[in-house]
């Protein structure tokens, strides 16, 4: 596959890795972006991976109120220094994240927060559907894997398409900011309130 400079640039923005490293990773993975990111991570070349070991203890809490006070969101976003926390870029990121949570209503920040029991329930539903659809058992695992990926995209903040730019996920948005600031940035927690909804 022909690896274009546009592809290399896009991977560099996503990971913060060097141009040559990005080109090599894309070549090794036949242009598959997800696989290329994994290649960079294994080599420890992804800037986001490198930064993740740094403590993110500064940051901000952003809020967003929508629809005449019917939906409200608080999001805590952490970074390493007060200097970055006060920049317009970081403040904008935090505001965008709170707006995104209001619109997309994620249940978790990351897929690793979903309990084994909840995942097993999902898989059981998929298995029942596959039995109903009379799909051959040998392809179940692959179908279930695909359905889980879609489920994560629906319920996990970092896997959701970013509402202001659906070409990227929220995870990519955060990684781009990590590459730009050179600091570890973590979405720590969020709370979403909807008027009249039952408390969980």
Give the model's pLDDT for residue 140: 84
Give CB contacts under 8 A, 24+ apart, made by 33-41.
33/7, 36/11, 37/11, 40/11, 40/15
Give the model's pLDDT for residue 46: 52
Give the CA distances from residue 188 to residues 8, 38, 57, 185, in Å, rounded to whole numbers and listed in that order: 30, 24, 10, 9
Residues in CB range of 133: below 8 A, 6 or more apart: none
Residues in CB range of 164: below 8 A, 6 or more apart: 96, 99, 100
Give the model's pLDDT for residue 55: 65
Give the model's pLDDT for residue 5: 79
Helical axes 88-104 vs 170-181, angle rounded to 10°: 170
Give the model's pLDDT for residue 61: 94
For domain 5-51, give the CATH number.
Answer: 1.10.8.10
What count of Cα atoms within 13 Å lies in the side-chain half-sphere of residue 161? 6
Give the model's pLDDT for residue 36: 85
CATH topology of domain 115-155: GTP Cyclohydrolase I; Chain A, domain 1 (1.10.286)
Give the model's pLDDT for residue 91: 96
Closest CA to 157 of 145, 169, 175: 169
Contact 58, 80 (CB under 8 A): yes
pTM for the full predicted model: 0.68
Give the CA distances from residue 96 to residues 31, 62, 106, in Å, rounded to whole numbers and listed in that order: 30, 9, 14
Superfamily of domain 58-109+156-194: Elongation factor Ts, dimerisation domain (3.30.479.20)
Q: How far apart are CA 158 and CA 152, in angstroms?
A: 9
Instruction: For the chain of 200 residues, list the mean pLDDT of each consecutive stretch of 10.
Output: 80 71 85 82 59 70 89 94 93 96 94 89 90 84 89 94 94 92 91 79
Pairing between β-strand 71-79 and β-strand 186-194 as defined by DSSP bridges: antiparallel
Lookup: tokens for 142:
């692959």
Domain ranges of the chain: 5-51, 58-109+156-194, 115-155
């Amino acid at each position: 596959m022909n690896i274009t400079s546009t592809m290399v640039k896009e991977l560099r923005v996503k990971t913060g890795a060097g141009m040559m490293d990005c080109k090599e990773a894309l070549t090794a993975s036949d242009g598959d972006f997800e696989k290329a990111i994994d290649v960079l991570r294994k080599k420890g070349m992804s800037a986001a991976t490198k930064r993740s070991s740094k403590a993110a203890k500064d940051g901000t809490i952003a809020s967003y109120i929508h629809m005449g006070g019917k939906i409200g969101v608080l999001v805590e976003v952490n970074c390493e220094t007060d200097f970055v926390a006060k920049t317009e870029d970081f403040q904008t990121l935090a505001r965008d994240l709170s707006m995104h949570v209001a619109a997309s209503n994620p249940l978790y920040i990351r897929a690793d927060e979903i309990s084994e029991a909840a995942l097993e329930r999902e898989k059981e539903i998929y298995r029942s559907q596959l039995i109903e659809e009379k799909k051959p058992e040998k392809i179940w695992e692959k179908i279930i894997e695909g359905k889980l990926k879609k489920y994560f995209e629906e319920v996990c903040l970092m896997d959701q398409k970013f509402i202001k730019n659906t070409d990227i996920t929220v995870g990519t948005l955060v990684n781009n900011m990590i590459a730009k600031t050179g600091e570890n940035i973590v979405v720590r927690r969020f709370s979403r309130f909807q008027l009249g909804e039952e408390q969980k």
